[in-house]
């Protein structure tokens, strides 16, 4: 018996607008974390997951604008490497880092969406919220510029 009757349906072609709207929705969810207090570990895990997802969707939107295929990937450094050199430099600059430093920090923070999603397996890696916050802000600015 097939437990997934919708699997054979044709997937919708994702547009930049779809990705940008998803970015904005998750960004609004993050604002609730920013305005609240932390009661327990679930708040921290939730914030890490949302921030990681925001970065992933933002990078996929940039890839789409550059005419590149959206790949099934969660690792931020693997998405970043597919961006044009111009976009890479711009993102580092908007985040107030030199490109080499940006890439090092990105690789350290690359796989949090998977690692923290399965926190019970003990794969939670060091999270650099300051870097991720800067990345989100630079993605937000860049995507807003594109959407206007």
Q: Are 99 and 89 in contact (CB under 8 A)?
A: yes
Q: Are 136 and 51 in contact (CB under 8 A)?
A: yes
Q: Is the whole model's pTM more than 0.75, yes or no?
A: yes
For each successive 10 residues of the chain (148 residues), what is the average pLDDT? 52 87 92 71 80 94 92 90 97 97 93 73 74 94 94
* Whole-number pLDDT of residue 1: 46
Calculate the alpha carbon distances from 98 to 27, 74, 87 in Å: 25, 23, 13
* Whole-number pLDDT of residue 111: 83
């Amino acid at each position: 018996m097939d437990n997934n009757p919708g699997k054979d349906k044709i997937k919708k072609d994702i547009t930049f607008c779809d990705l940008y709207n998803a970015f904005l929705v998750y960004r609004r969810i993050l604002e609730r974390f920013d305005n609240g207090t932390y009661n327990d570990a679930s708040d921290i895990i939730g914030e890490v997951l949302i921030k990681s997802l925001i970065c992933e969707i933002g990078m996929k939107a940039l890839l789409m604008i550059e005419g590149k295929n959206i790949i099934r990937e969660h690792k931020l450094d693997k998405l970043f490497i597919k961006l044009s050199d111009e976009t890479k430099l711009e993102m580092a600059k908007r985040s107030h880092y030199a490109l080499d430093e940006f890439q090092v920090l990105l690789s350290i923070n690359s796989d949090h969406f998977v690692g923290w999603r399965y926190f019970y397996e003990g794969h939670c890696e060091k999270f650099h919220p300051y870097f991720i916050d800067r990345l989100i802000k630079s993605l937000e600015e860049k995507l807003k510029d594109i959407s206007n």
